Every structure is written in structure tokens, then in C-alpha cells.
Amino acid sequence: MADLRINFAGIKSPNPFWLASAPPTNSGAQIHRAFEAGWGGAVWKTIGAPVLNVSNRYGAWHYGRQRMLAINNVELISDRPIEINLREIAEVKRAWPDRAVIVSAMVESKPESWREIVERIEGTGADGIELNYGCPHGMSERGMGSAIGQVPEYCEQITRWVKEAATIPVIMKLTPNITNIVLPARAGVAAGANALSLINTINSIVGVDLDTLELTPSIAGKGGHGGYAGPAVKPIALNMLAALGTDEIVSRSGIPISGMGGIANWQDAAQFLLLGASSLQVCTAVMHYGFRIIDDFCDGLSNWMDEKGFKTIADVTGRSIHRVSEFKNLDLSYRAVARIDPDKCIKCNLCFVACNDTAHQCIDLVSPHGVVVQPLSYDLRSNGKQEAVESRPQPVVREPDCVGCRLCYNVCPVDDCIEMVELPSGRSEVTWSELSQQQPQVTEDWEAMKAYRDEVGIHIH
């Protein structure tokens, strides 16, 4: 049984799963229940400046029948009186000494405001502070949230103020609404933050109602961008996490990272760990299904770690970072082709139409008699299940023409039916970077490129 305990910048918790600062951590009663369910920690919903909220706060993106692949919100930081929040934080921490209780904060950009909030938080006995530099709506219009997070200099300045006042660990939370995520992360490192967390929500408009022509959700006829989160943002979060893990300054600092953004199951969690996170935060998945999902998160992660021989979370953290590279360092001679398993194939032809219409036209439809046939070529008088099924052609990849784009693999609805098979390309390993050094003309001139292709045997049809 793997050891799921973590010590994240001095903050300990029995497992790496924390509730992210968001509606699920709005009150002590909620967090009590979450801890009863098994959550390792919770980042209290941001406290700080006074706010008022609106109705119709959450929009969502659904795809087909799958609800809430992403949620979009314009809810602000906690609208509960700050004294009540502070009292409940203290109560929760007293009741759950083994769990991580972190308090997210956001106040006006004045040193005295930050010093005051830090002192009040420390007075609760909380384990750490998370600086909310990410809220993309409402608060940012008042110069807080992402208005800070988008300017590395502001991040650095405020974090310094906080660090001067704080005795407990300080986590600086990054906004993804920025061109280069590395810059604010470096600012955090420079300011002495104890840890980073990412990603906060992404600017988004979730949709337009086709009856009323109002935005969804509509707040008395109006709407605006809100913060986007949930399974759909996971790839964006993973990319930003990896960007920090591969940045020399950030990685050399050894500063731990709390990863979040669309973690909906233990598999997502493991991926965040592999790309460098050492604590994990979850919001949308609990907003969809409740606190109970922690059970599978812990079991699933632990079972996978046992299978893989990982004993601790630290064993997993960053394991795949060395796999993150850039295009220029990828082997141009690596060759993979798609292969369709005819025994598993259900002949839906989704691979065929995807390849034929939008990729590289290298899948043939082969009739039961072994002849390549065109789609929709049956006799109009032919019908019935027997004729339809027995005469149905089999999609077959024409391997010499397959560029290995992997589109068919992605559209295939059957597990393990299409496999990307590595084939010898007959060419020696070379990257674009090497090529541009060794034969710069090839990378600059189409004629030279043509000659190079002929020489090494690259045929593009």
C-alpha cells in the first residue's frame, strides 16, 4: 500500500488531495464533511475584501449528454463576514489537526492590508496562506486577482509584503490568463514564496442562448466573461505545470507546486504528479459529484502506485518531466503507422472518413472479396441486415502512405482497436535542431529540402 502522505512546503496532509479555494470550501460545515469523507486538505474560499454576489453565477459547457465538462463562474471571493470565516477556520483546524487547512486571501494592493490579513489568518492556526492572484472576473476590475497575476512585478511586490509578515508557508497561485506562465512563477520564486499553485480559472464566455440571444448564464439580461474550470481545462493546466517544471529558474529553486485544473479522477491526479505537482487541488469534480469522489481518488492512486512500484508521492512527482521537450528536439526519423485490428473493428468507418476527408487519405475500404471499394457503392436495391453486414468493407491502412498522424486512433470508438505501430524508417535519428545546424540550407530552402528528402527517402504524397 503506497504512502499517500505529503509534506508540501511544510504543510502536512494524509493524502495529496485538497479542495481548491472555491464554493466547496465556503464554510466550516462543508469542510468538516469533506474531511469526514477523507479529503487531505482544503484551501478556504478566498477571504479579504468585502463583496456582493449575483444570481446565475455558474455557466457550464456540456458536450453531448456529458454534463459539465467545464464550469464557468462569476462568483466572487467569500461574501460571508470575515469574522465568521476566521472563527470557522480556527474551529476546523482545531477539529482536524492532521488535515491541511490553507486560507486563500485577496485584499487591496496595500502593504498594510496584506499584513493585516496575514496576521488574522495566522491567528486561526491555519497551516498556510494561498495568495489569490487569479480571480479573472469582478475582483480584477478592482485591481485584485488576475490584475495582479498578469503583472509579474506586482506578483513579486505583494508576495514580498506577505512574506515579510508571514510565519506560515505562503503559496502563490498563478493565473493562466497570461502569455507566459513562467514569468509570474519566477516572480514568486524571487519574492521567496514557499510554493506555487496553478492554474486558476480561465477567462471564458460559455455560450449564447439561442432563444433570448443573451449570454449564458444571463444576469438580468447581461453577462460577461467568467472563470473556466473543469475537465476541459486539464490539458492547458498540464502544459503550464510542465512549463514550470522545465524552466531552469523555477525548477532549480526546488519550490513545490500544487497542481489543479480539471482533476476529475485519480488518473488525472497521477498525471499532474508526473508533471511535477506534489499536492493536488480539486474543485469542479466535487461540484459535480460531491465530496464522496475522494474514495476513488485515494484508492485509485494508491493501487496504481503499488502496480508501478512507487512508494511515496515524492517518487511520482516530476517523473515525466524529462519527457517534456520541444518540437525541435523530436526525432524526425521516428516512424509510426496506424494498424486496425480487424477482429476488434466494428466497421463504423469513422477512421476512414476522418482520414479521407481531413487527414492523409491512406485508409482503404476493402470488400470481403479483398477488393478496394468506394464508400456508398452498394446497389440501391440491396438491403437487409445480412446483406449490409456481410458485404460491409473493412477499413485497412495503406501503411506505406500513412504519415502516422494518429487521427484515426483518436476517433476510433473501440478500445485498443487501432494501434500506432513503430516501423523502422530506415533513416538515422535526426532532430530539426541538428538538421538546422548540420545542413542549414535544408531548413531554409525548398529545393535543398527536396534534395534532402530524395537523399534520405522521405516521400510525401
Q: Which residues are catalytic?
A: 135
- Residue 372 touching other proteins (CB under 8 A): no
| From 376, 416, 426, 428, residue interacting with other proteins (rule: CB under 8 A) | 376
| From 58, 154, 378, 432, residue interacting with other proteins (rule: CB under 8 A) | 378
Longest dimension (CA), the chain: 84
Q: How far is the CB of 353 from other proteins (least distance, A)?
A: 4
Report, in angstroms and rounded to the nearest whole number, the Rg of the chain calculated over CA atoms: 26
The residue among 151 and 348 lying less far from other proteins, judged by its C-beta, is 348
Binding mask 50-89 for other proteins (x = CB under 8 A): --------------xx------------------------
Q: How far is the CB of 364 from other proteins (least distance, A)?
A: 13
| From 10, 342, 375, 400, residue interacting with other proteins (rule: CB under 8 A) | 375
- Residue 426 touching other proteins (CB under 8 A): no
Nearest to 206, CA basis, from 65, 58, 55, 56: 58
The residue among 288 and 347 lying less far from other proteins, judged by its C-beta, is 347
Q: How far is the CB of 395 from other proteins (least distance, A)?
A: 10
- Residue 167 touching other proteins (CB under 8 A): no
Q: How far is the CB of 354 from other proteins (least distance, A)?
A: 9
The residue among 376 and 460 lying less far from other proteins, judged by its C-beta, is 376
| From 389, 446, 460, 461, residue interacting with other proteins (rule: CB under 8 A) | 389
- Residue 17 touching other proteins (CB under 8 A): no
Name which of residues 325 to 364 contact other proteins (CB under 8 A): 346-350, 352-353
- Residue 428 touching other proteins (CB under 8 A): no
Q: How far is the CB of 223 from other proteins (least distance, A)?
A: 22
The residue among 90 and 353 lying less far from other proteins, judged by its C-beta, is 353
- Bridge pairing between strands 363-366 and 394-397: antiparallel
- Residue 382 touching other proteins (CB under 8 A): yes
- Residue 219 touching other proteins (CB under 8 A): no
- Residue 407 touching other proteins (CB under 8 A): no
Binding mask 283-302 for other proteins (x = CB under 8 A): --------------------
Given a contact cutoff of 8 angstroms between Cβ atoms, the answer to whether 209 and 61 are in contact is no
The residue among 228 and 352 lying less far from other proteins, judged by its C-beta, is 352
Q: How far is the CB of 211 from other proteins (least distance, A)?
A: 12
What strands lie across the sheet with 226-229, from one edge to the other?
Answer: 58-63, 66-73, 226-229, 202-204
Contact stretch for other proteins (CB under 8 A) within 110-118, 195-203, 255-263, 374-382: 374-382
Cα(first)–Cα(last) distance of the chain, in Å?
A: 53
- Residue 392 touching other proteins (CB under 8 A): yes
Q: How far is the CB of 232 from other proteins (least distance, A)?
A: 18
Q: How far is the CB of 351 from other proteins (least distance, A)?
A: 9
- Residue 424 touching other proteins (CB under 8 A): no
- Residue 220 touching other proteins (CB under 8 A): no
The residue among 225 and 360 lying less far from other proteins, judged by its C-beta, is 360
- Residue 423 touching other proteins (CB under 8 A): no
- Residue 95 touching other proteins (CB under 8 A): no
Q: Give the C-alpha separation, 17 to 258, whole Å.
A: 10
The residue among 65 and 252 lying less far from other proteins, judged by its C-beta, is 65
Given a contact cutoff of 8 angstroms between Cβ atoms, the answer to whether 14 and 8 are in contact is no
- Residue 387 touching other proteins (CB under 8 A): yes
SS3 of the chain: CCECCEEECCEEECCCEEECCCHHHCCHHHHHHHHHHCCCEEEEEEEECCCCCCCCCEEEEEECCEEEEEEEECCCCCCCCHHHHHHHHHHHHHHCCCCEEEEEEECCCCHHHHHHHHHHHHCCCCCEEEEECCCCCCCHHHCCCHHHHCCHHHHHHHHHHHHHHCCCCEEEECCCCCCCCHHHHHHHHHHCCCEEEECCCEEECCEECCCCCCEECCECCECCCEEEECHHHHHHHHHHHHHHHCCHHHHHHCCCEEEECCCCCHHHHHHHHHCCCCEEEECHHHHHHCHHHHHHHHHHHHHHHHHHCCCEHHHHCCCCHHHCCCHHHCECCCEEEEEECCCCCCCCCHHHHHHHHHCCCCEEEECCCCCEECCCCCCCCCCCHHHHHHCCCEEEECHHHCCCCCHHHHHCCCCCCEEEEEECCCCCCCEHHHHHHHCHHHHCCHHHHHHHHHHHCCCCC
Q: How far is the CB of 360 from other proteins (least distance, A)?
A: 17
Q: If binding means CB under 8 A, how many residues of this protein chain bind other proteins?
A: 25
Q: Give the C-alpha separation, 420 to 257, whole Å.
A: 34
Binding site for other proteins (CB under 8 A): 64-65, 346-350, 352-353, 365, 375-376, 378, 380-385, 387-389, 391-392, 413
